DNA sequence: CTCCAGGTGATGG
DNA sequence: CCATCACATGGA
């Protein structure tokens, strides 16, 4: 395992648990596995700014530096919402306190999270499957999908081969039953539609990457089963559109409870990163935000 | 057994 | 525009 020094803290555990990705796992105590495309990384947290990684320097620079979004300075991005800087800017005294304090607490709680730059097709497929499922159930469904249909790759770190995410071409030729068998339920037809549109060029990732936000959003919403939340997830996590804010049930509850119903996410170039801290905070404090029972 | 899950589409006001 | 409802099935 090779040593990697980082300019900012990075937490393998928080990233894995943050709800933006479903395949990273902690295999045994402290050993994490990440996969993107056909690349597999084994990784240990040495200190908060030092990792031990299984790949060579070249692969780290060409693949994983981008995947972990290491060229972005998160401290600079978050500075306006933290401590002294924020107080200095609110001398007028009119700014609200509960909301901004909540944002600050969320950033501190999730410090070390990176918003990963993941594979666009994998994000589209994964978030289509995610609707009306719990995060553990999403992980199970995606794992089954990969194990059944994904290409296998041997590594020096595990006895069993690792399953890559199945390419869209592989899913186009499956029978409906084969997809249902992964616990996809009614989402199987949605996934099929996404696979076909990705293969026939309608949603070709390399072309979509060059589109403006509005056009990309339109294209994604053209898939059956993709609405605004999933489209924003794919844009944020798959196409690096860091201003997009996927608004789901958790975010709605937070807006209601902490921001008096007013959208706290400004029309800002990095709003999606803030969203990720706030979302993680909610996951880590579920009891506080869980749905009130109706009566 | 019951209830909920990182929503969406169809339908009806 | 907003309010409901069905949708399949794994977790808790």
The length of chain A is 295
A184 CA vs C11 C1’ separation (Å):
15
Catalytically annotated residue among A3, A85, A228, A229:
A229
pLDDT digits (tens, 9 = 90+) for A107-155: 999 999 999 999 999 999 999 999 999 999 999 999 999 999 999 999 9
DSSP assignment string, A266-283: -S-TTHHHHHHHHHHHHH
Q: What is the pLDDT of residue A271?
A: 97
| Strand B closer than 7 A to residue A291 Cβ | yes
Report DSSP letters for A53-99, one per residue: ESS-HHHIIIIIHHHTTTTS-HHHHHGGGSHHHHHHHTTTS-S-SHH
Strand B and A19 CB separated by under 7 Å:
yes
If you measure CA to C1', which residue is closest to nucleotide B4?
A134
Q: What is the pTM of this model?
A: 0.95
Q: Is strand C in 7 Å reach of the CB of A144?
A: no
For A171-206, write each residue's pLDDT tens digit.
Answer: 998 988 899 999 999 999 999 999 999 999 999 999
Strand C lies under 7 A from the Cβ of residue A286: no
Nearest to A129 by CA among A225, A17, A250: A225
């Amino acid at each position: 395992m090779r040593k990697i020094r980082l300019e900012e803290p990075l937490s393998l555990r928080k990233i894995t648990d943050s709800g933006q990705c479903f395949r990273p796992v902690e295999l045994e105590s402290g050993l994490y596995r990440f996969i993107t495309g056909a690349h597999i990384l084994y990784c240990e947290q040495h200190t908060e700014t030092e990792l031990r990684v299984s790949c060579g320097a070249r692969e780290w620079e060409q693949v994983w530096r981008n995947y972990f979004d290491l060229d972005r300075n998160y401290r600079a991005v978050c500075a306006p919402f933290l401590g002294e800087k924020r107080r200095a800017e609110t001398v007028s005294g009119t700014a609200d306190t509960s909301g901004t304090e909540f944002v600050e607490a969320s950033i501190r709680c999730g410090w070390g999270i990176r918003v990963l730059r993941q594979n666009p097709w994998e994000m589209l497929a994964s978030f289509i499957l995610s609707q009306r499922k719990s995060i553990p159930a999403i992980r199970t469904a995606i794992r089954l999908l990969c194990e059944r249909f994904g290409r296998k790759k041997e590594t020096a770190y595990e006895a069993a081969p690792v399953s890559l995410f199945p390419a869209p071409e592989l899913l186009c030729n499956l029978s409906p039953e084969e997809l249902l068998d992964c616990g996809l339920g009614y989402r199987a037809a949605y996934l099929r539609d996404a696979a076909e549109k990705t293969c026939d060029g309608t949603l070709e990732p390399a072309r979509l990457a060059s589109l403006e936000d509005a056009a990309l959003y339109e294209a994604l919403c053209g898939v059956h089963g993709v609405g605004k939340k999933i489209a924003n997830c794919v844009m944020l996590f798959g196409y690096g559109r860091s201003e997009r804010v996927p608004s789901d049930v958790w975010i709605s509850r937070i807006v209601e409870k902490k921001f008096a119903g007013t959208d706290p996410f400004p029309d800002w170039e990095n709003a999606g990163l803030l969203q990720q801290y706030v979302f993680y905070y909610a996951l880590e404090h579920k009891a506080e935000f869980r749905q009130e029972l109706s009566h």
